[in-house]
Amino acid sequence: MFPGTFAASTPDKPAVIRPATGEQITYAQLETRSAQLAHLLTDEWGFKPGDTIAVVSDNTLEMVEIYWGALRSGLYIAAINHHLTAEESSYIIGDCGARALFVSAAVADHVDLTPEAHPAVEHRVAFGGALDGLEDYRGLLEGQPTEAPADQPRGHDFLYSSGTTGRPKGVRVDLPEGQIDEVPDLYTPVFSFLYAFDADSVYQCPAPLYHAAPLRFCGVVNSVGGTVILMDRFDPEEALRLIEEYHVTHSQWVPTMFVRMLKLPDATRERYDVSSMTHAIHAAAPCPPEVKRRMIEWWGPVIHEYYSATEGMGITFINSQEALERPGSVGRDGLKGIAHICDEEGNELPTGQIGTIYWQQDEGTFSYHGDPEKTASVFHPQHPNWSTFGDVGYLDEDRFLYLTDRKAFTIISGGVNIYPQEIENALALHPAVEDVAVIGIPDEEMGERVHAVVVPAADRADDPGLAEEILGSLRGHVSDFKIPRGVDFVDELPRTPTGKLVKRRIADKYKAQAAG
C-alpha cells in the first residue's frame, strides 16, 4: 500500500499534522500534490527511473509531498541534513548526482544557491518562501495533472551517513522492480508486523526527516493510513504535551531524548497523560540500561528498541521484558541478517567474546556511492556476503547482541581495550551531568588514557568539587582502570540533531593539542 490507497477510502483524514504551525495535509491532498510532482518530474522534466533529486528541508509538509512524489516516479531522493554548512551540502548534492534541488526557504542559508555551485543540477526549486533564482514549488505544480501517472515505478531514499567518523557517504540500494502500489518498501512489512502500525496509528516524530529512521517511519505510517505528528524539533515537555493532545500511539526516540525527559521535574512529568502510547521505539544510539529501566517504570512495557543503520545490512529487536531480563542488549538477530563476531583477522569468535560485528545477508546489496574502496572495506575478507557497520560487541548464548562501542572509539590503554560507552552509560543519569563523552587521549606511557568531557548542569558549572564527585560516582560501577584520569567541562558537545555524538571532532581536537 501507499498513500494513494487511502486518498480514496479516507480522503479527509490527516496524513501529517505539524503542530508548531497548525498545518496539516490530508490523504487526498498528499495524493494530489505528490501526483502533480510526479508528472512534473517525469512528463515535463523527463526524469527517468534511477535519477536522483536532492532536498534540503526542515520538518515541513512539503518535504513529505516531495518524498512521495519522488518515490512514485522511480527516483532516488537524497534528503540532506539542513544543519550542514553550504560547502558540506554542496558536496552531497554533487556526489549524489542530483538533477533537481528542492530547498526550504527556512534553511536556505545552509545551501549555496548559485548555479555555479551545482553545475549538474538542472532545476532548482524553493518552497516555504521565495528564493532568488529558484523556481516556486507551488507554481510549478499548478496546471499539472492531478490523477496518478500511468507508470509509477517504486523509488527509494538515497541517504548519507551522519559523518560521525568521517566524510558522509551515500548509501545507495538497488531499486525494487514493480509499481509503487504493487511492491512494498523494505520497511512497512517488517515494522507493521513488529510494532502493529495500522490505519489507527498516531505516530509522533520528534526528529528531523533527513535522518533515515524518521523519514522511513513516516513513510511506513503513511503506507498503512495512519497519522504523523511532525514536531519541528524536540522539546521534552512539548513532546509529552503532544502525546496527550493527539493520543499518540507510536513514537520514536533516541536515548538522549529519554534522558532529557527523565530529568524534567517530577511534577512536569506527572502532568501529562501518556497512557495512549502502545509502542515507544528507540534507536540511533545505545541506550544506557538504567535509562531504559526508568522509562519502562514511567511509561510501562511499551519501550522497544531496534539496532540497525542507514546501510540496512542487519537488524535486531528487543522489547521491554527482554530488555529488563538482559540489560544492555539491543536484541536478537535473525529477522534480517545473521550476526557474526570476528577478531581483527576476520576469525569468528566464540559466544561472549568481544569483536567486530558482521552481518550475513543472502539477499539485497548496497554500496557507498562513488566510493568502491569504502564499500569494499566493510565486507568480510573471506565472506563476501558479510558486512559491518563498524560496531563492536558480543553475542550471548541465546544470540542476544550487546554493543560495546564503535570500533573507531575503542580506547587502547596499556594494551587493554576500554569501551567508552560503558563509562558514558554510568554517567548518563548523574544529576550534575547534562551530556558526556569519554575518549582516549595520547599518553606516552600507556598509549592512551581515559578522559571525560562533560557538559555540567547549569547550577553546578562553577562547583570546584564537581570533577571529583563525577569520578567518585563511577567507583563500584566500572573497574578502576576504566575510570577517567581527568575531566574537562565544556558548554556543549557536538551531536547531530538525531542525538548521535560526533566523537571524532572531540578526539581530533585533543590529538591536535597533543601534537601541538
How many angstroms separate the Cα of 207 from the Cα of each of 215, 251, 282, 320? 9, 10, 11, 22
Question: What is the b/e burial string over 503-515, where b = at least 16 CB atoms within 10 angstroms of the residue's CB?
Answer: bbebbeebeeeee
What is the per-residue pLDDT for 365?
63
pLDDT band at 173 (very low <50, low <70, confident <90, very high): confident
The model carries a pTM of 0.84
Note whether 269 and 299 are within 8 A (CB). Answer: no
What is the per-residue pLDDT for 369?
77
What is the per-residue pLDDT for 164?
47
Q: Per the structure block, which three cell numbers stand in for 353?
A: 567474546
Q: Name the E strands within 226-376.
A: 227-230, 250-253, 279-282, 303-307, 315-318, 329-336, 338-342, 355-360, 366-368
Instruction: Tell me what the mean pLDDT of segment 211-237 comes to.
Output: 95
Kindly report, residue by residue over 107-143, the tens digit of the pLDDT. Answer: 999 999 998 999 999 999 999 999 999 999 999 999 9
Q: Per the structure block, which three cell numbers stand in for 265?
A: 521535574
Kindly report, residue by residue over 240-249, the tens digit of the pLDDT. Answer: 999 999 999 9
What is the per-residue pLDDT for 287?
84
pLDDT band at 210 (very low <50, low <70, confident <90, very high): very high
φ, ψ of residue 250 in degrees (nearest 5): -130, 145
Percent of the chain with pLDDT over 70: 97
More confident residue, 480 or 98: 98
Rounded CA separation 145/122 (Å): 22
Kindly report, residue by residue over 363-376, the tens digit of the pLDDT. Answer: 656 677 777 887 78
Note whether 99 and 52 are within 8 A (CB). Answer: yes
What is the per-residue pLDDT for 364?
54
Note whether 31 and 4 are within 8 A (CB). Answer: yes
Which ranges constitute the DSSP H helices of 362-419? Answer: 372-377
Q: Per the structure block, which three cell numbers stand in for 203?
A: 505516530
pLDDT band at 51 (very low <50, low <70, confident <90, very high): very high
Note whether 481 and 416 are within 8 A (CB). Answer: yes
Q: Per the structure block, which three cell numbers stand in for 192?
A: 507493521
Kindly report, residue by residue over 421-477, the tens digit of the pLDDT. Answer: 889 988 988 999 999 999 988 887 778 899 999 999 989 988 999 999 999 999 988
Rg value, the chain, Cα:
23
Q: Name the E strands within 231-328.
A: 250-253, 279-282, 303-307, 315-318
